[in-house]
Amino acid sequence: ERLPMTCPFCRHPVMKNEAECHLHTMKRVKANDPFACYQAGMRRFSASDYATAIEYFDKAIELGDIESHHLLSIVYKNGHGVQRDIKKVTYHLEKAAIGGHPIARHNLGWGEHDKGNIDRAVKHFIIAAKLG
């Protein structure tokens, strides 16, 4: 007989459907799991519920999630449910880059390139390349 599929980390049985997955995620959000907050934010973002997504991303950031900083930079750059705000884009990119997010570092490099700061851009690109 085959053993049931379980999470390799917590040995909890794998969720069977979307509703079960959502319940588990929300349980983890209540327990202040930063990745669960990020997942909940992505779920709301995909459903075009940007206001709720931003709330979840903000909570994930408070709990130390770097990916949420990067995603908020995209939200503010494209104006998803908020006013476009370049200062907030730069702020969230810088926080994500400082936290080790390679794409955020790369995007900062392009921002410096567009401003004509080629030396700074190259430094960002080199750091991004080293991060992977």
Between CA 117 and CA 128 the distance in angstroms is 17
List, for residues 81-128, the tens digit of each pLDDT value: 999 999 999 999 999 999 999 999 999 999 999 999 999 999 999 999
Residue 52 pLDDT = 96
Token pair in block for residue 61 = 């950031």
Q: Name the DSSP class of 15.
A: P
Handedness of CA 116, 96, 50, 58 (dihedral sign): negative
For 17-50, how does the pLDDT look when each residue is reduced to its tens digit (9 = 90+)? Answer: 888 888 888 999 999 999 999 999 999 999 999 9
**pLDDT band, very low/low/confident/very high, at 132 (cuts 50, 70, 90):** confident
pTM (2 d.p.): 0.82
Confidence of residue 7 (pLDDT cuts 50, 70, 90): confident
Neighbours of 48 (CB within 10 A): 9
Who contacts 51 (Cβ-Cβ below 8 Å, separation ≥6)? 81
C-alpha–C-alpha distance, residues 72 and 57, integer Å? 7
Place of tokens 């390799």: 8
pLDDT at 12 over 80: no
